[in-house]
Structure 1
Amino acid sequence: MLKHSDIWRAIDRLAHRHGLSASGLAKRGGLDPTTFNKSKRMTPDGKLRWPSTESIAKVLEATGSSFTDFVAMTGEEGDGTGGGAGMSAAAMRRVPVIGYAQAGNDGYFDDAGYPAGNGWDELEFPHVADDHAYALEVSGDSMEPVYRDGDIIIVSPAASVRRGDRVVVRTRDGEVMAKQLARQTANRLELVSLNRSHPDRSLPMADVAWIARIMWASQ
C-alpha cells in the first residue's frame, strides 16, 4: 500500500526528471507554486498530508507523463526510468534552489557569490563538483527562447568563465541577469542577451558583484 512518503517521493522524482524544483513542477502544471513545498506536506498539527489527485493529474499532463510512470517513481529504489537503483548517493548532490527574484535580494548570497542561509527548496543533481553550486529557478520571459519560465539552471560560482559561456551576473545594486559572456576585461564586462528583444549590456567591473557560469539547464 502506498504511503504519504511514496507519493511525495514520486512528485520530487517527476520534478527532477524534468529539471524542475517542486515549485517549478507545480507552476508547470498551472498550480500555485507552493502546492508541493515541504511546508505543505504536513498539517499545522504535524499530521502527514496527501497531495490532491487533481494536482497530480495536472502535473502529469503538463509533463507528458503517464500514471504508470508516476507509480514507478514511488519506490525506494530507482527513479522509474528503468535504471535500477539509479545514481548512487555519492554521485548525487543536494543543491539549494533559489528563485530568480530572490537572487537579487540582500542576504541570499555572500560577497563571493555563494548561497548564504537556508530554508530554500532543494534539488538532487548528479555530478556537481562545486560545493557552492546552486539552482536558480527562471522567472519571466527575459531569457526565452533559451530558458523558459519555471526552468532550472545550475550555477557554479567556482567554475572558470570564458568568452561564449552563459553566465549569471549580479550587480552591486542587486540586479541579477543571465546572459552570454561576450568579453571581459579588467575594467568592463560585455554581455549578450539570450532574448534578442532585450538589450545587450556593458557593465563597469566596479559595478559587478560576481559572475558565475551556468553549467546545466533543463530544456
Structure 2
Amino acid sequence: MIADRIEALIERRGTNPRAVALAAGMSPTGVRDIIIRKTKNPTFANLLKISEALGVDVMEIVSGTGLPPETISIAGKVGAGAQVPVFDAYEKGDGPQVEAPPGLPPSGVVAVEIVGDSMEPIYSNGDLLFYSRATHEGIPDDVIGHRCVLEDADGMGWVKQVKPGDEPGLFHLISLNPGATTMWNKKLRWAAKVRLHWPAELSRRF
C-alpha cells in the first residue's frame, strides 16, 4: 500500500511526516493524513513532491520498485540449558540481518538465535526471538514474570522467565522446559521481554 511505503521510507531516513510534508511544500499534516487514513489514491502531484523530499524515485512509492526489505540485526545466540556467550550488537546494529517479520516495526528491535533443543517444543534450534532493550543495562520492572532474552553477570545469554530473587539485585531464572533446573539468585546485566518468536524456516537472512 502506498501509505505503508511512504511510512517505511520516512522511518528509514530517520525523519518524520511533518518534516517531509514541509519539505514537499504540503500542509504540515499532509503526509501524516496519507499515512493515518491509508489513502489509497493520493494525487500523483503530491506523491511526486513526497518522493523528491525523500530523495527517491516516485515509482518506489507507487509500486514499491527498488525498495529493499526492512531488516533487523541478529545480535547473537542464546541458550536455555547450555551456556552460550552472547554477543550484543544492539548499539552497533551491524552483523547478520533478517528480514523484519510482517507487523513488527524494525526500529529499536534486535533478534537472537536459539541454540540447541532444550526449549522444545516452545522454541527450536535456529529459531529467532525479537526483543527491544529499554535500557543498555539493568532489569526493568516490566520484565519480571515474563519470558526474556537476558545476559547474566558472566556474559552468558539465556532465554528464561525472570522472577525476583531472595535479595535485591538477584533473580530466579525459570526454564521454559519444565524438566530443566531453575537457576536461583543470579545477577543479571540486562533482560528484555520477548516480543516475537519467529521459526527458523520462516526467516529470510542476509
Query: Could you tell me the TM-score, scaled by structure 2's length?
Result: 0.49
